[in-house]
Structure 1
Amino acid sequence: MSSKELHNYDIRIASNGDWYHEGTKIQRIELVKLFASVLNKRDDNKYWLTTPKEEGVIKVDDAPFVITKMDYSGETETANCWFTTNLEDKILLSKNNPLRLEFDNKENPRPYVYLFRGMEALILRQVYYEIVKYAVKDENGIYGIWSDNTFFHVEQKK
């Protein structure tokens, strides 16, 4: 049994990555970064703010972070794709931080990249279109990109 004090924080992360407390947007990026540093997703699929003394659940509309920018360099297997989150963290697309695609009922892609502590970032549509510019076909004719010596599909497998 945990000796931490449990809270139900009135904090919500919107699908665009904005953080809200009691319905008001948190404007200070430093405060958002502080909260994000203690955020994790547990096996219960809930998002928790956890400190040594207390912890509590917060609401996340989609993913807690969004990818706002990408930098792509190199060619084929030697290429690297770096993502930047809305909190200015840099993430290399790799086996440790893989790309995951979901598709809505109209077959529109919703791409995510795994970050850390069980959490992902939603890749914004304009960044996804930039990724697709670098896509090449694999041996099965499915488009993807290379990063960190790994091939990541950017379209639904046929």
Structure 2
Amino acid sequence: MAEPLFEHLEKLRDEFSGHPPVHKWDPDLCGDMDLTIRRDGTWVHEGTEIQREALVRLFASILRREGDEYFLVTPVEKWRIHVEDVPFLVNQVARGKRNGTDLLLFTTNTGDVVPLVRDSGWSLRPFGKTGQPVPYIEVRDDLWARVSRDVYYQLVDWAIDESKPTTGDASAASDIDIVSDGERFPLGSY
């Protein structure tokens, strides 16, 4: 039986999955905007955190990445902004079944609901002072979200440990994977 959160998130994703077609818009660059998306997921304009969630969601919906740069794009304007790590943070995960197969749904701090499916962008990247590998998931069009610490620990709790073949060495590392849409996705090693 799917958990209620999973069912609710699937309905929201199906109902509100559309984003403006920023990939089709090609206005001239207007300049740099004093807007920063911090590593902790907060959006800061001219030194002040944007408190209105609806405004953050609006900006997130018109965000585009080109190489290592990020822009807010409309049909007539294009403004470069600064992103400290990635633009989104995964702050919730739910698991359930779709067509009899286990599926994980991730929710970002801007309300995007992203299923972890076979062709999803998923990677482990070093983060923070320690450089510990942390999972990232592609939200859309090369825009990524970092999995928050709370969500990471939830995933570890659900993970499948897959031991590497050992040669009798008790210190050999084991891989930790999660399963979604019939595929394994790495979480790290211990």
Q: Same fold (TM over 0.5)?
A: yes
Map of 1:135-146 to 2, 5 A cutoff? 135-138=159-162, 140=164, 141-146=174-179
* Alignment gaps of 5+ in structure 2: 1-25, 165-173
| Aligned 8 A contact 1:11 1:21 in 2 | yes
1:87 aligned onto 2:110: yes
Residue number in structure 1 paired with 2:9: none
- How much is the aligned-residue C-alpha RMSD, in angstroms? 2.1
Q: Residues of 2 paired with 1:3 and 1:127: CA distance?
A: 37
**1:78 partner amino acid:** T
Tell me: CA distance 1:123–1:142, structure 2 relative to 1, closer, same or farther (3 Å): same
**Per-residue deviation, 1:139:** 7.0
More helix, by proportion = 2
Residue number in structure 2 paired with 1:52: 75
Q: Residues of 2 paired with 1:151 and 1:83: CA distance?
A: 16
Q: Residues of 1 paired with 2:147 and 2:179: CA distance?
A: 17
Residue number in structure 2 paired with 1:16: 40
1:42 aligned onto 2:66: yes
* Alignment gaps of 5+ in structure 1: none
| Aligned 8 A contact 1:64 1:119 in 2 | yes
Residue number in structure 2 paired with 1:148: 181
The runs of at least 4 aligned residues of structure 1 exceeding 4 Å deviation read none
**2:175 partner amino acid:** I
**Per-residue deviation, 1:107:** 5.4
Q: Residues of 1 paired with 2:121 and 2:60: CA distance?
A: 20
Residue number in structure 1 paired with 2:134: 110
User: What is the DSSP-based 3-state SS (H/G/I as helix, E as strand, rest coil) of the residue aligned with 1:87?
Assistant: coil
| Aligned 8 A contact 1:12 1:59 in 2 | yes
| Aligned 8 A contact 2:90 2:146 in 1 | yes
Residue number in structure 1 paired with 2:21: none
Q: Percent identity among equivalent residues?
A: 33
User: What is the DSSP-based 3-state SS (H/G/I as helix, E as strand, rest coil) of the residue aligned with 2:140?
Assistant: coil
| Aligned 8 A contact 2:112 2:139 in 1 | no
Q: Which has the larger radius of gyration?
A: 2
Q: Residues of 2 paired with 1:3 and 1:88: CA distance?
A: 27
**1:18 partner amino acid:** T
> What's the TM-score once normalised by structure 2's chain length?
0.73
**Per-residue deviation, 1:61:** 0.9
> What's the TM-score once normalised by structure 1's chain length?
0.87
User: What is the DSSP-based 3-state SS (H/G/I as helix, E as strand, rest coil) of the residue aligned with 2:188?
Assistant: coil
| Aligned 8 A contact 1:68 1:124 in 2 | yes
Report the more deviating stretch, 119-128 or 90-99: 90-99
Tell me: CA distance 1:3–1:40, structure 2 relative to 1, closer, same or farther (3 Å): closer
Tell me: CA distance 1:133–1:150, structure 2 relative to 1, closer, same or farther (3 Å): same
Q: Residues of 2 paired with 1:11 and 1:92: CA distance?
A: 29
